[in-house]
Amino acid sequence: MNTIAENIANFLKEYQPFSFLSNDELIHITTSIGIINLEKNKTLFQADEKLHDSFYVVASGVVNLTFLADGEEILLNKCYAGDVFGLRPFFAKNNYMMTAKSREDSIVYAIPISIFKPFVSQNSNVLDFLLENFASNTRNSLDKETGSVVSDGIYSNKTGEIQYFQSLSYNKTPLKISQDEISKDVAQLMSDNLIDSAIIIENNYPIGIVTDTDFRSKIANGRFPLNSSISKIMSSPVVTVPESISVAEAQLLLLKHNVSHLCVTKDGSDKSIVSGIISEHDIVVAQSNNPGVLIKQIKKALNPKELKQVREKLTELVQSSIAKNIPIPHIFNITGEINIAIIKRAIEIAILDLGSPPARFCWISIGSQARKEQLLLTDQDSILVFEDVAEDKYRDVKDYFIKLAKRASTILEKIGFQYCPNNHMASNMIWCKSLSDWIKQYNNWMKTPGEQSNEISSIFFDVEMVLGENKIEEAINEVIFNNAKNSVLFFDYLGNDTLRKQPALTFFKKFNVEEEGLHKGKFNIKNKAIMPLVDGARLFALNMQLKGVNNTYLRFKELAIIDPKHSEIFLNCAEAFLVLTGFRTLEGLKNDNSGEYINLDELSKIDKEKLKNALMPMKELEELIKDKFQLTQFS
């Protein structure tokens, strides 16, 4: 017996998934394993490099997995002895999405995919281990005994859940033939239709599949004559899947069954009518729509048209995620990151047109963009803050940034982000000014609310930097939270503003619908249901000095921890916000609009009750606001 192979086998069997294999199976694998000595800082593979024919296990040392973001190398994971990485060739066809580099002198085992793949499809424990880690993108760094799979870019922390449930486009008009057809005729039909597969059916149900590979491996080599019936060379039984199959689910099934195609049927069984066929090529195409790829496309975009195409793909992603019942917080995460990336790129394109900025600055999203709650395309909300400059340079500097903001806003409008009807945009000279001027603005708003010509708007207290200097954003946040300390007048104003909105339900617990105008009879879910929760979460977040959390759902979750006495109210509001957002998003996707007005006549009785129940926590929130801020009357 090969002593080296035996030593490697003894090492691997201490770690999953290799511990699920027999000693003979391990020896079979280890005789084909390559041993790679990596000196410190040596690269094993890098982002955009073509996939290797092996995956890797750390034998000793440490290997870092990194990726580039905005020119910086970001550490995603550290791989220690027993950790598996570089699995991308199992699941994808495109290049590596990150770099593997040794942190110190290391030894790595290279395990050929072709040698290991049969054990994946034959051993359910091995498969389950890979699938679980593949889907969840987790590694237990504390559990060195069991080993772990380290993600190499199939998913990222912020995109895993979405791509795992991402819907898949496939051929919905596959070639369907009977098992009595002659192979030569089927090959001609496939060639005429420019397709690489055909489904064999009997009584409208799939009984097999034939692909280009079958013709090459069974007829081209002389095993069967050209005039054989197709039943002789077809693969049977066919692997069937439901119409709602996701990208990741399809990938995993192709791996599990070691096949290149999946047959789609109405209910996912082989006793159901065929409704499509999925190929490996379909998977590769679908991957171009995953969030990680979208971010990469955004960074490379050179004009509004390219950015608009990405935003349209994001809408499709939101739609499929809602249909799959993906938790709303996960969808917030994805859409928020991609929207911010689009806005950032729009500003960068504008800078490329205008030339370098004459001073340091910070472009800040406000309102729903800052809260990362824009699942649907809505309007732009932003401010621009530039550093303090000498008085004689102020006018020229401000002129540049107004031009920059106008150009960026025009680009965003072309992408689909409408201009703010209240002109709360950086392109408005009122909202484009120096840091000192902004500090004065916030001081005036918060110390003497309602007395300034620029009436205070609560959306200016949701801030998220898109591009620019972190220190400028930090200065804005500092003035906000410093002023919020013991500011009775400010919270009196903001609290009354929150309570002033029309109630969602009438005295008789009926929906408070629009009484006139274009939307007569419809329920304004934004203004009467969602915004009171948004305003309430913001109010308490400012009061309790909750920094760095803008999203309404997350604010309520954090508030429940900070204020245990009222945790039930906050948690109920958090769940209500998700339900209401779901209703609005569905309405918007259905009608290709902002989803602001719900047509109650189109809701089922169950959905109406669900909607009404989501409005119930608002009353408790109102009472808590009145009690907390001593608001006995409001105007």
Across the range 225-240, mean pLDDT stands at 88
Backbone CA torsion sign across 424, 430, 434, 435? negative
> Looking up tokens 């020896």, which residue turns up?
27
Q: Nearest 5°: CA angle at 555, between 614 and 504?
A: 30
Nearest Cα residue to 149 out of 217, 220, 72, 85: 85
Give yes or no: residues 414 and 452 share one domain. Answer: yes
CA distance 499 to 632: 11
Greater pLDDT, 74 or 493? 493
Boundary (domain end) residue, out of 416, 442, 477:
477
Q: Is residue 90 part of a domain?
A: yes
Give yes or no: residues 346 and 465 share one domain. Answer: yes
Boundary (domain end) residue, out of 278, 304, 323:
278
> Looking up tokens 């930097």, which residue turns up?
465
| CATH code, domain with 202 | 3.10.580.10
Find residue 283's DSSP bridge partners.
none
Task: Give the pair of three-digit tokens for residue 12.
Answer: 């691997």
Give the SS3 label for residue 199. Answer: strand
Q: Nearest 5°: CA angle at 120, between 117 and 123?
A: 140
Across the range 170-184, mean pLDDT stands at 89
C-alpha to C-alpha distances, 131 to 80, 156, 382, 546, 581, nearest whole angstrom: 21, 15, 42, 38, 31
Q: Is residue 634 part of a domain?
A: no
What is the per-residue pLDDT across 190-224, written as a single tens digit (0 to 9) for each? 888 888 899 999 888 999 999 988 888 888 777 88
With contact defined as beta carbons under 8 Å apart, do 170 and 116 qualify? no
pLDDT reported for residue 263: 92
Nearest Cα residue to 390 out of 441, 434, 431: 434
pLDDT reported for residue 591: 84
Give yes or no: residues 192 and 272 share one domain. Answer: yes
Give yes or no: residues 18 and 70 share one domain. Answer: yes
Give yes or no: residues 394 and 332 share one domain. Answer: yes
| CATH code, domain with 426 | 3.30.460.10
Q: Is residue 350 part of a domain?
A: yes
Task: Band the pLDDT of 164: cuts 50, 70, 90.
Answer: very low
At 465, which helix (H) or strand (E)?
strand 463-468
Q: Is residue 128 part of a domain?
A: no
Give yes or no: residues 455 and 319 share one domain. Answer: yes
With contact defined as beta carbons under 8 Å apart, do 67 and 153 qualify? yes
Give yes or no: residues 331 and 451 share one domain. Answer: yes
Q: Which residues, other chains included, contact 580 with Cβ-Cβ below 8 Å and sequence gap of 6+?
A: 525, 529, 530, 533, 611, 614, 615
Task: Band the pLDDT of 510: cuts 50, 70, 90.
Answer: confident
CA distance 543 to 57: 51
Sheet containing strand 176-177, strands side by side: 176-177, 197-202, 205-211
358 upstream amide cis, omega within 30 of 0 = no
pLDDT reported for residue 324: 66
CA distance 252 to 593: 36
Tally of domains in the chain: 4
Average pLDDT, the chain: 84
Which structural domain range is residue 34 located in?
3-116+146-155
What is this structure's pTM?
0.62
Q: Is residue 131 part of a domain?
A: no
Nearest Cα residue to 272 out of 202, 323, 324, 211: 202
Nearest Cα residue to 74 out of 268, 295, 229: 295
Give yes or no: residues 48 and 107 share one domain. Answer: yes
Q: Helix axis angle, 531-543 relative to 567-591, nearest 10°?
A: 140
What is the per-residue pLDDT across 22-33, written as a single tens digit (0 to 9) for each? 888 888 888 888
Give yes or no: residues 468 and 436 share one domain. Answer: yes
Q: Is residue 162 part of a domain?
A: no
Find residue 210's DSSP bridge partners.
198
Q: Is residue 136 part of a domain?
A: no
Task: Band the pLDDT of 146: cuts 50, 70, 90.
Answer: very low
Cα 85 → chain centroid? 23
Task: Give the pair of three-digit tokens for residue 226.
Answer: 């050209």
What is the per-residue pLDDT across 291-310, written as a single tens digit (0 to 9) for each? 767 887 888 888 999 999 88
Give yes or no: residues 274 and 295 share one domain. Answer: no
Give yes or no: residues 513 and 365 share one domain. Answer: no
With contact defined as beta carbons under 8 Å apart, do 591 and 612 qualify? no
Give yes or no: residues 411 and 469 share one domain. Answer: yes
Q: Is residue 379 part of a domain?
A: yes
Under DSSP, the state recorded for 85 is E
What does residue 129 show for φ and ψ, rounded to 5 degrees?
Answer: -60, -45
pLDDT reported for residue 32: 85
With contact defined as beta carbons under 8 Å apart, do 277 and 262 qualify? yes
> pLDDT at residue 634 above 80?
no
| CATH code, domain with 103 | 2.60.120.10
Boundary (domain end) residue, out of 477, 505, 527:
477
CA distance 443 to 447: 6
